[in-house]
Amino acid sequence: ALCPQELRSGCFWRWVLAEAAATLIFVGVVLGASVAPGPLAPALAGGLVAGTLACTLGAPQANPALTLALLCTRKLGALRGATGLLAQCAGAVMASAAARLALPDDAGLVTRVSAVGTAGQALAWETFATFQLALAAFAAADRAAPQGGLALGSAVAAGALAAGPFSGGSMNPARSLGPAIVTGIWDDHWVSQRHPRVPPQRPQCGDG
């Protein structure tokens, strides 16, 4: 249910700021690592920064796919979910704009479907990778850091390595949306813009 009075809560706005900051940091780190050839560097960078953010910023989602999954399971209110999505997208766009200024070209910014397979195969791998990430995130919510951060970071790295050769291994609509908005390149963008089937766990959203 919508809770307009939550807008007057300092805790609420700290949570929104944490989502924006976490997404900005995550996307910025992954974009920087994507300059290196091959999927290994962005996979490791994404896993390390995801684990670090889970331990330092109160387990932010920093991922619209995870936020939508929490909304679908009613573990996150509509108001908090909507503002979280906006904060995540804003953070991703800011990170992408800064990366475009700092990086030599746009080649590493945009998540692309690889020539290894078809767009349908890319979607299948992206869905699988995002599903295992959501499963890890939901399970890690019941565990204290650093164990939760380690599980989440490992899931990000594993998913990126598995799906990277096919879809780029985004697993995060914000990571794909930010560069697409900044560069205007929307090729096969639909592959990254969906959320996974919700795993049958008992998800918990920090202070959500």
pLDDT number for residue 202: 44
**Residue 204 main-chain phi, psi, to 5 deg:** -135, 130
pLDDT number for residue 43: 92
Distance CA 96, CA 106 (A): 10
Q: How far are the Cα atoms of 52, 88, 122, 134 from residue 116, in angstroms, in the given order?
A: 32, 30, 9, 25
Task: Give residue limits of the domains in the chain.
Answer: 8-191
Look-up of token digits 């953010």: 53
- Write the pLDDT tens digit of every residue in 29-72: 999 888 888 788 999 999 999 999 988 887 788 999 999 988 88
More reliable by pLDDT, 186 or 117: 186
Q: Does domain 8-191 have CATH number 1.20.1080.10?
A: yes
